Amino acid sequence: MLPYLGLGIFGLVLCLLAAKFLFQVPFLGSLWVLSLGSLLYLLVALGMGLLISSTVKAQFVASLIVVVAAFIPALMLSGFLFELHNLPAAVRLLSYLFPARYYVALLQTVLLVGDVWSVILPNLAVLAGMAILLLALTRLGFKKQLD
């Protein structure tokens, strides 16, 4: 898990540098809040990947599950592509299941507005809860066995 966490952090640094210097996106919040939120989101993503890979035997099936159940809905329902307030109420309620929604709100707040704790703390709490839940389920899913 540590190499993938390192790759995620490396990708985050590259994206932040591109946002700041290539696209002139302002950075009004604190770096430690962004780092904590990004670390929690990476742990959620890694936990989800570990949970899927520990329950499914075939790599191809695991890839399809990730794309269909996580990637596409997260992209469409995170608030990154479409404003969530414009979505129908049922779809908006469904978006609360995906961690990307909380991470995008955290990114928008920290980068564009600054440290607004009434937005940051609930999003960090949900991401932390999701990370703990997914990593605990993954731990329960692993079986010690020799093949």
Number of domains observed in the structure of the chain: 1
Residue 35 is predicted with a pLDDT of: 94
Residue 43 is predicted with a pLDDT of: 94
Q: Which structural domain range is residue 85 located in?
A: 25-46+54-140
Residue 146 is predicted with a pLDDT of: 47
Domain-located, residue 113: yes
> How many C-alpha atoms does 132 have within 13 Å on its Cβ side?
6
The candidate with the shortest Cα–Cα distance to 38, out of 5, 85, 73, is 5
Residue 119 is predicted with a pLDDT of: 94
pLDDT-flagged residues of the chain (< 50): 146
Domain-located, residue 7: no
Domain-located, residue 80: yes
Largest CA distance in the chain: 53
pTM > 0.75: yes
Domain-located, residue 18: no
3-state secondary structure of 128: helix
Domain-located, residue 20: no
Residue 145 is predicted with a pLDDT of: 53
DSSP annotation of 6 = H
Domain-located, residue 116: yes
Residue 133 is predicted with a pLDDT of: 96
Domain-located, residue 40: yes
Domain-located, residue 10: no
